[in-house]
Amino acid sequence: MGVKYGREYTDILLDLMKHTESIKEIYDCFDMSKQEWGALAGQERLECIRTFADDVFYGLGAEPVIEVGRGTVQYDSSRHLIQIHSGQVTSIVHLV
C-alpha cells in the first residue's frame, strides 16, 4: 500500500525523529540496554533515531501500527497523518 504524503520527506522524517525519540524504552528496538543507549554519543543516538524513523515510515506502508518500546506508531491513511503514542502523550506528524 505505502504511506502517501505531500510534504517534503525530509521534513516528515525530522518530525518523526523528534517524536519517536521521546518514546520510553526506544532503545529496545536497537537491542540495547538502557545503559548502552545512555553511553552513546549524541550524534550516534541521532543516527539510530534517523535510521529508525526512516524504517518506521516505510514499515507503516505494510503494517499500519508498529509497536516501539513502550509506545506505538500508527498510520492514519484517511486523515493523512502518523500518530505516535507514548504513555499518555500522543504526537501527530502531518503528511500533507
Over residues 9-32, the pLDDT tens digits come to 999 999 999 998 888 888 888 889
Residue 2 forms part of a structural domain: no
Q: What would the pLDDT profile of 70-94 be if each residue is shown by its tens digit?
A: 999 999 999 999 999 998 899 999 9
Residue 66 forms part of a structural domain: yes
What does the pLDDT read at residue 29?
86
Question: What DSSP state is assigned to residue 89?
Answer: E
Torsion of CA 58, 64, 65, 68, to 10 degrees: 0
Residue 85 forms part of a structural domain: yes
Q: Give Cβ neighbours of residue 72 (< 8 Å, ≥ 6 apart).
A: 65, 66, 84, 85
User: Residue 39: pLDDT above 90?
Assistant: yes
Q: Is 86 exposed, middle or buried (0-12, 13-18, 19+ CB in 10 A)?
A: buried
Residue 31 forms part of a structural domain: yes
Domain count for the chain:
1
Q: Which three cell numbers stand for residue 93?
A: 506528524
Integer Cα distance of 19 and 45 in angstroms: 14
